[in-house]
Amino acid sequence: MRSTLIDSNVLIDLFDEASEWRDWSDSMLTRCAMDGPLVINPLVMAEIAVGFESFEDVEHHLPEKFVRREALPWEAAFLAARAFLLYRHAGGERRSPLPDFYIGAHAAVAGHTLLTRDPRRYRHYFPKLRILAP
């Protein structure tokens, strides 16, 4: 059984009927759900919640029986910081770690596969992470 951490872009596709990626995201979520639990963390929740009017609305569209909620592991914070340092040394301009670093670190530390539509940064900074992407 393999758990999958879902990146926010995949869920946003699912909720946006006009998204050109909706069919891909829907089929990948179905496939991953057959392999094991689907997981999100508070950062993913925050990124998708922007499109909803209330927390209850998010919960209605993303029930816990469909997607398990996990806290960010403390070890993931350290790994995110290390990835962020590599980013800054490579010329990255942001002054604080991006959510992607935390999401990738969470998946890596917890042993989750990461389902995302934007694998570039994850592949670069978390080379051992198992990623499902187009």
Question: Which range marks the domain in which residue 61 is found?
Answer: 4-132
Residue 97: per-residue pLDDT: 74
**How many whole angstroms separate alpha carbon 34 and alpha carbon 55?**
27
Q: What is the pLDDT of residues 95-124, one digit of tens each?
A: 767 899 999 999 999 999 999 999 999 999
- Residues belonging to the chain: 134
Q: What is the pLDDT of residues 25-38, one digit of tens each?
A: 999 999 999 999 99
Whole-prediction pTM: 0.92
Strand (E) positions, 1-134?
4-6, 38-40, 68-69, 113-115, 131-132
CATH number of the CATH domain containing 8: 3.40.50.1010
Q: Which structure tokens are listed for 34?
A: 């057959």
Q: What is the CA angle 23-31-115, rounded to 5? A: 75
Confidence of residue 82 (pLDDT cuts 50, 70, 90): very high
| pLDDT beyond 80 at 94 | no
Domain count, the chain: 1
